[in-house]
Structure 1
Amino acid sequence: MAPDSKRPLPKGEQFFTPGATGLRKAVEQRSAVPMTYLFTQVPRWTAPTVLVVLLLVGFAVANPLGGVAVLPVIAFIGWLAYLSWPSLGIGGKVMRVAMLTFLLLLAATRFGLIAP
């Protein structure tokens, strides 16, 4: 793909949850621009690579700096989990809760809030 070309948005997908109100509607509306930017402007490998590097730093550095490295991973995964929650089955929901729990425990151990 040429550097100037942009990926088109997927067809047939609905970004907003039908009938959403309140917080969900607000979060989905505020997330539309960053999600579109990530999908159309940023190379596909960028976000996963950055997240893996931050997670590896979180594993390797056993002090608060490691915890700080995990925080953006928690925020990004939590954001995506929140956005995708209504369309998930029970297995997907359990996996997202397990992943966020694991990441929060990792950060807590790095900040010294719980023993490793």
Structure 2
Amino acid sequence: MADKRGERPAHPLAQSRPQRGRRPLPAGEQFFTPGATGLRRKVEQRSAAPLVFLFQLPRWIAPVVLVVLMLAGFAVSSFWGGVAVLPVIGFVGWLAYMSWPSLGNGGRLLRVALLTFLILLAADRFGAF
């Protein structure tokens, strides 16, 4: 659907003018999975605001926080190491769920392998092994 100038309208969550120091949202046709129903639709709707928030942060913050938590999980071989890995499991699992429909088999396999590794690391730190 085009406006008077023949341009596509901005995404509903995108701001017409980016605020100082913030990146504009990437251009795209769809923010949600087309035809999604049930749980996927609810998760995508509730994830829209956190995804926009993460996109507005400086690009280095999320990777640095995740690496620090992972290093803590590796370095601390006690209950607290497992606690440090839990947010990483949640974040990686959430992103894996959100990207699942657009992934090929290789991408899906890598995400399942990463989540399996993280769960085993947390279980080891919690003393399950």
TM over 0.5: yes
- The aligned counterpart of 2:27 is 11
State the aligned residue count.
111
SS in structure 2 of the partner of residue 9 of structure 1:
coil
Normalised to the residue count of structure 2, the TM-score between the two structures is: 0.83
Tell me, yes or no, if structure 1 residue 68 matches structure 2 residue 86.
no
Greater fraction of residues in helix: 1
Distance in 2, Cα, partners of 1:48 & 1:14 = 25
What are the ranges of 5 or more consecutive residues in structure 1 without an aligned counterpart? none
Amino acid at match of 2:61: T
Task: Map 1:91-106 onto structure 2 (within 5 A).
Answer: 91-106=106-121
Mean alpha-carbon deviation: is it higher for 29-38 or for 10-19?
10-19
RMSD between superposed Cα atoms in Å: 1.2
* TM-superposed deviation, 1:6: 1.0
Task: Map 1:1-116 onto structure 2 (within 5 A).
Answer: 4-12=20-28, 14-40=30-56, 42-114=57-129
Q: Which runs of 4+ in 1 moved over 4 A?
A: none
* TM-superposed deviation, 1:15: 1.9
Normalised to the residue count of structure 1, the TM-score between the two structures is: 0.92
What are the ranges of 5 or more consecutive residues in structure 2 without an aligned counterpart? 1-18
Which has the higher Rg, Structure 1 or Structure 2?
A: 2
Distance in 2, Cα, partners of 1:58 & 1:84 = 25
